[in-house]
Amino acid sequence: MREEFLYYTWENRLTDKDLKTTEGEAVEVVATGYRNTDSGPDFLEAKIQIGDKLWAGHVEIHVKTSDWNRHGHQNDKAYKNVILHVVYENDAKVNDIPTLELKGHFDERLFAQYQKLIASKTWIPCEKSISKVPVFTRLSWLDRMAVERLESKSGAVTKILEANQFDWEDALYKLLMRYFGLKVNNEAFEYLANILPFKTLLKHADNLLQVEAMLMGCAGFLEDEFTEDYPLLLKREYSVMKAKFNLLTMPAERWKFMRMRPSNFPTIRLAQMAQLIHKNGPLFSKIKAAKDSAEAKALFDVAASEYWETHWRFETRLPNPPAPLKRGNHGSRKTAKHLGDATADILIINAVTPLLFCYGKLHKDESVCETALQFLEDTEAEDNAIIRHYASCGITAENAMQTQALLHLYSYFCKRKRCLDCRIGNVLLK
């Protein structure tokens, strides 16, 4: 027997109605209480009728009665308000708290089914049966997972806000910088965001050259000797900005260029960030004011400065730079210097929506939280190994809200075999 299965049995009232304590007193579960996932008793604020008395307090659940002492509860004041000790097997008398033995009082075939599910060696326990779960059940559970995903990300956002005195613009800047770096350079981008405050960049947002000079200079990319005009100009501007704001310069060696496309090089990404700041200034306020996700995404429609049409690093030219557009051609060709749709989607999914959701939560504005979810729903589905694996099981995501939901489902439920806490798992068990 497993404790988590007993939690499930208790919470879902799957026991017989005719229950008695080990002392023979009738037990009626008026309220099971709510599950406590922190330290302390397993279910809080329960109401239990024992004999002719109605008790209000906490419920502790174990496989065996002797587990009470084995877990050290006898010396823990957090357990002094336990009104009922629920066990699968009563193997010892350990205290005067009424004890309820569940053995023989629920359908044990359910436990056998649960054991079979979690013993599965497949990618996820329900891999062969998840597609049989009704579509409505799956979709409603994914909606729940999407909200939990944003709530989980809000925790990391809150830490940033607590450190910067709840400066929302600075928080968005730091989040964007992290995800501009992708996995390869995210730590370097985060470090740069910490040594170069957004407020400093904002003071010169109307001057693209100065913004790019500060980003490139603090990143350590302007320490070399140059022969080309553009890097020389940036270097001169940076020397002025460095003296004015007492800026720090990080070692350029922290940046990685190997095994990545030139469009993802940190030099290109920083040039795009400079344009983003130059174009929008205080970006978060504009995102909040956007009437829909398309308007919000349009804020990220930027391209690096002209120098980066032909270079991927300072004084290192692209082997085959794109030909200029012919006169009269007003097409929308996007080059490596342009912030692509896929990158904009990454930023909206991982930076914009968590911050927007957190803002709604902290300001108790449900409409802002709904906007964050809508942004996800309007964004294209992500493509990665986990999403593809769910698709092979018959669960295809239609948008980023569902891919984020599936990532949360996998990390917090499937991977940990928390089938009893999962609505999909519950349906399969029944």
Mean pLDDT of 21-29: 91
Mean pLDDT of 243-249: 96
pLDDT winner (highest mean) among 183-187, 209-213, 304-308 = 209-213
Q: How does pLDDT run across 406-428, given as a tens digit for each residue?
A: 999 999 999 999 998 999 998 98
Separation CA 85–CA 27 (nearest Å)? 12
Task: Report the pLDDT value the prediction gives residue 329, as an integer from 0 to 100.
Answer: 39
Measured in degrees and rounded to the nearest 5, phi and psi for residue 222 equal -110, 20
Whole-angstrom CA distances from 9 to 30, 64, 116, 428 are 15, 15, 17, 15
Task: Report the pLDDT value the prediction gives residue 12, as an integer from 0 to 100.
Answer: 85
pLDDT tier at 321, thresholds 50, 70, 90: low
Q: The whole model's pTM is what?
A: 0.81
Q: How does pLDDT run across 267-297, given as a tens digit for each residue?
A: 999 999 999 999 999 999 999 999 899 999 9
Residue 35's H or E segment, with its range, is strand 34-35
Task: Report the pLDDT value the prediction gives residue 379, as an integer from 0 to 100.
Answer: 96
Task: Report the pLDDT value the prediction gives residue 334, as an integer from 0 to 100.
Answer: 46
Mean pLDDT of 48-55: 92
Pairing of strands 53-64, 316-317: unpaired
Residues 6+ apart with CB under 8 A from 426: 12, 419, 420
Q: How does pLDDT run across 366-406, given as a tens digit for each residue?
A: 999 999 999 999 999 999 999 999 999 999 999 999 999 99
278 and 203 Cβ atoms separated by less than 8 Å: no
Place of tokens 């469009």: 263
Per cent of the chain over pLDDT 70 is 96
Residues 6+ apart with CB under 8 A from 164: 170, 171, 174
Separation CA 308–CA 258 (nearest Å)? 18
Helical axes 3-11 vs 108-118, angle rounded to 10°: 130
Task: Report the pLDDT value the prediction gives residue 277, as an integer from 0 to 100.
Answer: 97
pLDDT tier at 259, thresholds 50, 70, 90: confident
Higher pLDDT, 72 or 204: 204
Mean pLDDT of 127-150: 95
CA–chain centroid gap for 284, Å, is 19
Task: Report the pLDDT value the prediction gives residue 367, as an integer from 0 to 100.
Answer: 95
Mean pLDDT of 170-191: 93
Sign of CA dihedral 45, 47, 50, 53: positive
Separation CA 298–CA 341 (nearest Å)? 10
How deeply is 398 buried, as exposed, middle or buried, from its count of CB atoms within 10 A (0-12, 13-18, 19+)?
exposed
Read off the DSSP letter of residue 97.
Answer: S
Whole-angstrom CA distances from 66 to 74, 87, 305 are 11, 9, 71
Token reading at 85: 């000790």
Task: Report the pLDDT value the prediction gives residue 336, as an integer from 0 to 100.
Answer: 58
pLDDT tier at 205, thresholds 50, 70, 90: very high
pLDDT tier at 322, thresholds 50, 70, 90: low
* Average pLDDT score, the chain: 91
Task: Report the pLDDT value the prediction gives residue 121, as an integer from 0 to 100.
Answer: 85
Q: Is a pLDDT exceeding 70 seen at residue 352?
A: yes
Measured in degrees and rounded to the nearest 5, phi and psi for residue 159 equal -65, -40
